[in-house]
Amino acid sequence: MKKLKVAVYAICKNEEAFIPRWVESMKEADEIYVLDTGSTDNSVSLLKQLGVNVKVKTYNPWRFEKARNDSLAMVKNDVDICVCTDLDEVFDKGWRDVLEAYWLKESPTRARYNYYWKLNEKDEALVSFWINKIHTRKNYFWKHPVHEVLNSSAEEKIIDVPIVLKHYPDKYKSRQSYLPLLELSVKEDPLDDRNLHYLGREYMYYQKYDLCIDTLHKHLNCKKATWKDERCASMRFIARSYMAKGYLQEAYDWYKRAINEAPYLREAYIELANLNIYQNNFLEAYHNLQKAFKIKEKSKSYINEEFAWNDKIYDMMSIASFYSGHYKASLKAVKKAIKLNNKEPRYQENLIKIKNFLSTLHE
């Protein structure tokens, strides 16, 4: 069988704590390249000790895509497969053999694979989606100063590969640079739908609700904004912002628009149910949650949220069911919530209350 040459490339700044684990995972590749962007810890020397090809370059002003492109430029031209990861990420063991087998069979230009963005203490995915940062050496480049995107200057052939990349983030790393970089990104390319969506979302995170609403309106009116999943998310974020501002009817209307935009996604049904519960409209919440539960599979994109698949949706269903008169459904839902999260004392309290209430019905 033909042997392909595989290289991993990454950028680094003060990642000393993650380096040994990362290198251990990535060493299945033939070569590892890291562009250090100004570490003040022991990152550079540690990487070199572990056999990594390291180059140091600082940037002022900082832009993610410049660093990504410079790290890619370190990879030799004879490499068949380029694998871009961050140092807080780890592949499941044996990833290289699986990747190479699929590559030899399909001859793609790019691979898509599962990314466990958030994990629990059992190393199980809480939030997962598919990403595609594995590619051929030629024709690829990174674009945008933040939330950078891998682009191709030639026609692509993308395949799905059954490998998993897991994310173990530094909880203390600041993301303060994201907002100004997103503002810069939109300024440079005001018609880029993805940048507008990310900027609006960032404004929401910073509780700049009017800016969020205005920016996401621009996203929805952008001609290139045709991806229904992302449009639905923008509508949900507009609804969240109106809800935070106390405009509940506007929030309700936008949640309904989000559902109509992408009725195959759980999130908008659940967020509308949350608003229903807030307004004591338990029967409508119950019906919206029923619709959410009929959706059995997550989207493969990053547009899926933890609350749609964990104990929270069952907690909501228990509350909505109880106060709309569906008592057996309420009991079943709270038991499921406890099974998924037995550390929440309120669930146990609700279980007792529901059981006591049901016992009175049989007296």
Give residue 362's pLDDT: 66
pLDDT band at 363 (very low <50, low <70, confident <90, very high): low
Residue 47 shares a structural domain with residue 163: yes
Query: What is the arithmetic mean of pLDDT over 36-57?
Result: 98
How many Cα atoms sit within 13 Å of 187 on the Cβ side? Answer: 8
| pTM score above 0.85 | yes
Determine the Cα–Cα distance for residues 343 and 109; give it in Å rounded to an integer. 46
User: How far is Cα of residue 68 from the mean position of the Cα atoms in its chain?
Assistant: 20
Of the two residues 286 and 360, the one the predictor is more confident about is 286
The torsion of the CA quartet 156, 136, 168, 306, rounded to 10 degrees, works out to 10
Residue 203 shares a structural domain with residue 256: yes
Give residue 176's pLDDT: 75
Domain count along the chain: 2
Residue 197 shares a structural domain with residue 124: no
pLDDT at residue 303 greater than cutoff 70: yes
In which domain, by residue range, is 222 found? 178-309
pLDDT at residue 77 greater than cutoff 80: yes
Residue 138 shares a structural domain with residue 225: no
- 242 with 254: CB under 8 angstroms? yes
**275 domain-assigned:** yes
Residue 186 shares a structural domain with residue 73: no
**149 domain-assigned:** yes
Residue 101 shares a structural domain with residue 124: yes
User: How far is Cα of residue 243 from the mean position of the Cα atoms in its chain?
Assistant: 23
pLDDT at residue 266 greater than cutoff 70: yes
Residue 156 shares a structural domain with residue 116: yes
Mean pLDDT of the chain: 96
pLDDT at residue 173 greater than cutoff 80: no
The two counts, helices (H) then strands (E), for the chain are 14, 10
